[in-house]
Structure 1
Amino acid sequence: MTGLKSDIETGAPLFGCWIELYSAFATEVVVQAGYDFLLVDLEHGPGSVMDAALQLQVAAGSGCHGICRVPKNDDSWIKRVLDVGFDGVMIPAVDSVEDARRAVASCRYPPAGKRGMAAAIVRAARYGRDCWDYVEAANRDVVVICQIESAQAVEAVEEIARVEGVDMLFVGPADLSSDMGYVGEVDHPEVMKAITRVEQAAKAAGKLLGAIPTPGRSTQELREAGYDIIVPGADTILLRDAADAQVASLKSGTSS
């Protein structure tokens, strides 16, 4: 299986699914559908690092990559999800250059960073069988994704994008719009103006872009805007929408 970073850099956007249920069976359905990556959510999802690792085991050998969104910009969280084998880490609420540098340092082994050295025993290094090869590869290949989701982050986005080791900026439209005073208005013109600034900063710095579609901006429009990863759905939403549609058709008498 090729690496997440090399697959992103082929140029065609990758499509992922948020994992919120932490059900091995539900994740298996998602993987078999052909998504390019899982985005396992430890910020808003109810799972533990152990639960997150199980989702990787479900996807093993499928060609479906694993990204984990950690609860916060903290090296103890970041090293744990990398140690179980995630290809990339999404760090929420990166609001400043200092936040971005801290995120990168947590993802890199010394001397490039401060990630704790446990490659002799962790799953990511095949429990030490690939110890030093993994250390070298991880510093090169782990994808560091910084979420831009506040007005403060937008004001600093050009500097954040230039931080060495930041691979991608990921727009969080719900939090960004809320922080800007437009709660629930993810496509408000002022929010879109801020998002355009994020896009321009990423491209100027040669960094990747990630986002989720919004009611006013489709997956296709994100593709045309040059986004590298797009996360259009979640296991919870897929299940919810299918269940709602079936129950509605059953009760209306229109189901076949």
Structure 2
Amino acid sequence: MYRPNTLKQRIARGESVYGSWSVLGSPFATQVICEAGFDFVIIDHEHGVGDHMSLGLQLLALEGSPTVSLVRVPRMDGNYMRRVLDLGAAGLVVPSVENAEEARQIVDWCRYPPNGNRGAAPGTIRASGFGVKAKEYATTANDSVLLIVQIETVEGVRNAAEIAAVPGIDMIFIGPYDLSASAGVMGQMTHPVVIEMIENVEQTAKAAGKPLGSVLWPGMSLKDMYGRGFSLIASGSDASRLHDACVADIRRFREAVEPRSDATE
């Protein structure tokens, strides 16, 4: 429910933040992520399995934790974005934004009048504590909601400068895997064409004074990414962390009980 957006404040101060994706739609998995100490979690409604009810439960699991909630919506959909914000998400990640018109539309959907046309019901929504903090939410939401747009297509790269120039867009998030797919080299995130597009967006965002976010891509470390000027890195997910831990545990078991290949009788 209502609380100041510390993630947006930290990014504005030039701090580096680190978070995890959540794709399982589970409030318990979300709580584990929070307890681990991540700065933020991106609840993924583009590729994850959750719905609005599971999202509400995940946001409940985040309460009392300093971890900040972001939600990646599945598409350009004003009604979906409004519902997510009304549930209490601190920010949105919008995939595949390709031009300034789309960026302006996102801002319009997510800001209360006079800065936009978000439906105003602060007296009833969960984001305001079901009205308990209606006045505080109504007067701060326009400034506190974090709006992040993903540039992850060739068309988006072409229009990166005008997207970054749209007032109200708080961060440019580069999607390297989708960039590789859009360029016809899917999965080849170190392909020269993909690297050139990434560098183009980096330079454009920096020139516009917009913070950068992304995921780790092959050959890059967290130190590399933050050194290049990225403010926000989202790495791994609840599903991948569970999978990796299970695989590592099974490997340890097999090493303990299976005969060594060089063993002699």
TM bracket (short chain): over 0.9
> How far has the Cα of 1:141 moved from its partner?
1.2
Classify the secondary structure of the residue corresponding to 2:108.
helix
2:230 aligned residue = 227
Q: Where do residues 35-50 of structure 1 align in structure 2 (5 Å cutoff)?
A: 35-50=38-53
Q: Where do residues 89-128 of structure 1 align in structure 2 (5 Å cutoff)?
A: 89-128=92-131
Number of residue pairs the alignment of both structures matches: 255
| TM-score with structure 1 setting the length | 0.96
Cα RMSD of the aligned pairs, angstroms, is 1.4
Q: Identify the match of residue 11 of structure 2 among 8, 15, 39.
A: 8
2:30 aligned residue = 27
Q: Identify the match of residue 164 of structure 2 among 161, 164, 167.
A: 161
| Residue identity matched to 1:129 | V
Classify the secondary structure of the residue corresponding to 1:253.
helix
Please list every run of at least 4 consecutive aligned residues from structure 1 whose deviation after the TM superposition is greater than 3 angstroms. none
In the alignment, does 2:85 pair up with 1:51?
no
Q: Identify the match of residue 69 of structure 1 among 72, 79, 82.
A: 72
> How far has the Cα of 1:83 moved from its partner?
0.4
1:18 aligned residue = 21
**Structure label with greater radius of gyration:** 2
Please list every run of 5 or more consecutive structure 1 residues that lacks an aligned counterpart in the other structure. none
Q: Where do residues 170-181 of structure 1 align in structure 2 (5 Å cutoff)?
A: 170-181=173-184
1:142-199 deviations in whole A, cap 9, x for unaligned?
1110000000000000000000111100011111111001111012121111111111
Question: Is the CA contact (8 Å cut-off) linking 1:37 and 1:64 kept in structure 2?
Answer: yes
| Residue identity matched to 1:133 | E
Question: Is the CA contact (8 Å cut-off) linking 1:219 and 1:232 kept in structure 2?
Answer: no
Q: Identify the match of residue 186 of structure 2 among 160, 183, 187.
A: 183
| TM-score with structure 2 setting the length | 0.93
| Residue identity matched to 1:182 | V
Moved more, 41-50 or 6-15: 6-15
1:186-236 deviations in whole A, cap 9, x for unaligned?
121211111111111111111111000011222111110111110111111
User: Once the two structures are aligned, what percentage of the paired residues are identical?
Assistant: 41
